[in-house]
């Protein structure tokens, strides 16, 4: 009996913090602000993760050894990479050690990107990250709130034993909606982060130019009758892998985050303050994001491999299970968890920042409304 009372009071307490009577537009504004901060802070880790996964898929990141030359990517025609490390040149042949031309880990990616491409390249794709984060999180977080509140009310009235599973269902549905809506920009971001520029003096392609480059090969290889349809469809290349990664991620994340957040808020006491909301949500988000990112890393590797594929025919044939099997054959467990370090290091702070900032802005808007 005492346990039930304690759980009920904790639930009511957390609800008073996170379920303010705000409009959908106000919730979207809160989420957009959270997305901007998170995208800027964690983008270097996203670049490191994407490069490690792309390298494992066959994209060469070779270094400039003594003299400057460009190597054509045999796997992806038209893709070249600049080499840069110390070497000896004997008759024009490179004798650069193999370790100079491969990323060995997160810090090695940071070092080589800064040295070869410049410090600003760690924020390569940030414009795409912002372009996708604002609408994605703006859809995702408010939809999660609305769905969670609605389903929670239904389960409490009709099936109380199902209430603990509400965050899992609401998170999965909200993430699916956001993912399908904003996927083409996500595709552009991954390609922008994965590939280096062919010439350092040329300004790198932006979001729209990258998307045009995705569509162009399909236009040149399809008949006029199906050209428009195929061109649009290719912008959702790898969507299955993205959903296979993001839906389980959201399910694990919210199923972990909600009970941790409620417990922390319950321990902190009933007095509401910005510090308590910020601390409880960041801690819960950090733990939940870290666990979810580690568990879904193989699906993230598969998604990256499908998104960077440039052969239209191979794009059409690839499926997520086939890609996972291919990764397993090539690298085993190590291949499936390529980039898990930067992925986990990125996801924990990212989820913590988004959730805590979102709840703090909601609380500020609530206080502003109450003051009037």
CATH for 50:
1.50.40.10
Residue 334 lies in a domain: yes
- Average pLDDT over the chain reads 77
pLDDT tens column, 267-291: 888 788 889 999 999 999 999 999 9
pLDDT tens column, 174-184: 999 999 888 88
The pLDDT-based confidence of 89 (bands split at 50, 70, 90) is very low
What are the tokens at 244? 């296979």
The pLDDT-based confidence of 197 (bands split at 50, 70, 90) is low
Number of domain units in the chain? 1
Task: Note down the domain range covering 165.
Answer: 2-83+99-371
CA–CA separation, 76 and 204 (whole Å): 18
Q: In this predicted structure, what is the pLDDT of residue 368?
A: 81
The pLDDT-based confidence of 333 (bands split at 50, 70, 90) is very high
CA–CA separation, 148 and 146 (whole Å): 6
Residue 94 lies in a domain: no
The pLDDT-based confidence of 80 (bands split at 50, 70, 90) is very low
Residue 92 lies in a domain: no
Choose between 77 and 150: higher pLDDT: 150
Q: In this predicted structure, what is the pLDDT of residue 318?
A: 77
Who contacts 314 (Cβ-Cβ below 8 Å, separation ≥6)?
A: none
CA–CA separation, 142 and 171 (whole Å): 11
Residue 91 lies in a domain: no
Residue 88 lies in a domain: no
Q: In this predicted structure, what is the pLDDT of residue 152?
A: 92
pLDDT tens column, 11-44: 444 444 445 577 788 888 888 888 888 888 888 8
Residue 286 lies in a domain: yes
């Amino acid at each position: 009996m005492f346990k039930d009372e304690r759980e009920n009071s904790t639930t009511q307490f957390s609800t008073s913090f996170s379920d303010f009577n705000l409009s959908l537009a106000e919730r979207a504004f809160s989420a957009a602000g959270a997305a901007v901060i998170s995208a800027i802070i964690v983008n270097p880790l996203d670049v490191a993760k994407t490069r490690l996964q792309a390298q494992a898929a066959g994209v060469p990141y070779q270094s400039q050894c003594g003299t400057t030359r460009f190597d054509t990517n045999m796997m992806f025609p038209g893709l070249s990479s600049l080499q840069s490390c110390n070497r000896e040149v004997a008759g024009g042949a490179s004798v650069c050690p193999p370790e100079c031309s491969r990323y060995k880990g997160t810090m090695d990616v940071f070092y080589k990107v800064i040295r070869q491409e410049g410090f600003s390249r760690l924020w390569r794709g940030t414009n795409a990250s912002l372009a996708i984060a604002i609408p994605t999180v703006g859809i995702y977080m408010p939809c999660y709130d609305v769905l969670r509140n609605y389903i929670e009310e239904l389960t409490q009235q009709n099936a109380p034993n199902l209430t603990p599973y509400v965050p899992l269902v609401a998170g999965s549905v909200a993430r699916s909606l956001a993912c399908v809506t904003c996927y083409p920009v996500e595709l552009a971001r991954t390609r922008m982060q994965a590939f280096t520029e062919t010439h350092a003096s040329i300004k790198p392609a932006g979001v729209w130019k990258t998307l045009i480059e995705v569509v162009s090969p399909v236009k040149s290889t399809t008949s006029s009758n199906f050209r428009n349809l195929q061109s649009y469809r290719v912008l959702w290349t790898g969507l299955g892998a993205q959903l296979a990664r993001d839906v389980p991620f959201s399910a694990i994340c919210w199923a972990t985050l909600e009970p941790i957040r409620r417990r922390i808020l319950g321990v902190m006491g009933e007095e509401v303050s910005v510090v308590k909301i910020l601390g409880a949500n960041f801690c819960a988000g950090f733990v939940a994001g870290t666990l979810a990112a580690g568990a879904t890393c193989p699906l993230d590797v598969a998604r990256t491999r499908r998104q960077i594929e440039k052969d239209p025919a191979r794009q059409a044939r690839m499926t997520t299970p086939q890609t996972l099997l291919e990764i397993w054959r090539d690298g085993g467990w190590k291949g499936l968890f390529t980039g898990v370090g930067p992925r986990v290091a990125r996801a924990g702070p990212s989820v913590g920042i988004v959730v805590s900032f979102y709840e703090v802005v909601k609380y500020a808007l609530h206080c502003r409304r109450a003051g009037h």
